[in-house]
Structure 1
Amino acid sequence: MDDDYETGGGAAEEDLSLPKATVAKLINEMMPPDIVCAKETRDLIAECCVEFIHLISSQANEQCEKEARKTIAGEHVIKALEELGFESYIPEVQEAYDDHLKTTKERIKGSQKKDTGLTPEELEEMQAALFAKARARMHSKDLTAEGAGGEPSASG
């Protein structure tokens, strides 16, 4: 790899890395307990992970551009894995993506209920009632203003 290689974001490649503690934890979880992994090996694995992420991201970005989209979606990543020959990763990635979508929907749905305790339908009904009340108040002010020679009423 060239030292002056630049990524799409303008950061020098050597500036890209993963959290060392996270990499060490993942390695320790994957290795048998009686095997120790040298620091240089952990660093090399982290570099390989960064390169893999860059490869998949670049391919997903190309897929995104083919579809004239501006945001890389999960589907683009899955297509990139397929195009690059990493089909065996797709089921697990698809499962993680589906879990992410489900969690996001639940979080959004939960935040709507958590804040008010009301369903979206109940909130819409309340909003419609408030708009109707505001329109009625506005209409009554207009009538009061017309009766006072066109000047808005200060009471109300």
Structure 2
Amino acid sequence: MNRPSRTRLMGMGMLVVTFAAGLLAGAASSRALSARETEPQAATAAECSDRRGPHSIFEKLSLSPEQRQRIDGIMARRRARMDTVWQEHGAPIRAAHDSARAEVRQVLTPAQQAEYDRLRAAHRAERERREAKEKQGMSDGGSR
């Protein structure tokens, strides 16, 4: 009689998925910020404006060089902490995320599964394209 209802279990599952997605998004943001901060040449405001994420906020604040340097230090420390957390807990987070994705896929019709897979592959390809472009920009040289 005290067994949790299916709705309650689904709700708890969605909370876990949301938490895992947030952790992954935070880790991805941290990595994106770390890549940008280590670029030899600073991104222009126009380049930042078409990218999403908290990094673009700094470009809009007209920071002084001292402020930018201090913020870069804060972000570097945060990145180091996030890398440590990701190294220690990344595998279970990824497993939880993958498990939730598999469960979601089971709810979909075969046609929806195919579209879901196609959209995920497109998203992955776009992310890899952006990362390759950022790495190419870093290897082109230049100075801050």
Q: TM-score band, normalised by the shorter chain?
A: under 0.3
Whose helix fraction is larger, Structure 1's or Structure 2's?
2
What TM-score do the two structures reach when normalised by structure 1? 0.25
Whichever of the two has the greater Rg, that structure is: 1
Higher relative contact order (CA 8 A, sep 6+): 2
What TM-score do the two structures reach when normalised by structure 2? 0.26
